[in-house]
Amino acid sequence: MSVPSPEDIMKCPICLETMQPPIIQCKVGHSMCKSCITGCRISNCPTCRSQLTETRNYQLEQLIEGLKKVLKLQCVYYYKGCKYDLTQQDKQTHELECKYRKFHCEGIYKHFKDSHPNSTRMEYKTDATMKISLNRDFKDVQIISFFNGQQYFYYKHQIDVTKQKAYWHFQLIGLKSQAENYYYEFEIHNNSLRKFKVTEFCTSDTTDINTTFAQEKCVVVSFTGIKNYLNEFGELHFKFRIMANKKTRH
């Protein structure tokens, strides 16, 4: 008979997550979250089918609370490649940001490839030209590979006719703590000496981009300013590069 791991001991047989107090037992002694029983209207133990009781397992509650502070657990996405070992306290926060997590598709457009055939894709260091229309709202999202595919970023661009502004920003697909290690330089320019350059920190893709744009913690250019850089074809020349702080290690 194999000895159960601490993770198995702490796991509720109903929700399959770490048991949360109050923890109650069946007549045989199997434990589970009381909230799971109430929520699922269960009358018999899911492990042995014996009758449930109102007896609370205080010792197990105390044991789990202590283990949460010291026990290292695998990220739920370890099977996809995540190598983080975390305390129970940090596990939930990490899994919300883990780059291997499931997340809603951003609707990544083919705009850049379709509209700019001379450029096959965006990279962490890009110099390009884009057609700008100031008469309609527009959003663009691209994925950028950084450091030989070890990190990925979102390039996000928006034209807001109501606010008469254009926005650009770069988000790391990953942890907020990791995003703080990266920043970007963004520059728009024309054939003259005139140029507009911004340096800003990257954020995590878990940060609401609408909030970032609203707070203008990104590249923001008014329509009046953009017109100074458009060529005769209504095109904007821009370049950017994403960089890691010197203290960042890969």
Q: What is the mean pLDDT of each run of 10 residues along the chain (250 residues)?
A: 75 88 94 88 88 92 82 79 79 78 51 44 82 93 77 92 97 86 93 88 93 96 95 93 70
Q: What is the pLDDT of residue 111?
A: 44
**Coil, helix or strand at residue 79:** helix
Is residue 33 within 8 A of residue 57, CB to CB? The reply is no
For the chain, list the domains and their CATH numbers.
1-68 (3.30.40.10), 72-102 (no CATH), 111-244 (2.60.210.10)
Q: Which of 202, 194, 204 is nearest to 237 (CA)?
A: 194
Q: What is the pLDDT of residue 109?
A: 35
Q: 3: how many CB neighbours lie within 10 A of its CB? A: 6
What's the pTM value of the predicted model, to 2 decimals?
0.59
Q: What is the pLDDT of residue 93?
A: 77
- Looking only at the bridges linking them, the beta strands covering 23-26 and 31-33 are antiparallel
Measured distance CA(10)–CA(29) in Å, rounded: 14
Q: What is the pLDDT of residue 50?
A: 92
pLDDT tens per residue, range 95-147: 877 877 765 544 443 444 454 444 335 678 889 899 999 999 999 988 888 76
Measured distance CA(38)–CA(223) in Å, rounded: 57
Instruction: Work out the angle at residue 168's Cα, subtended by the Cα atoms of residues 165 and 170, and round it to the nearest 5 degrees.
Output: 160
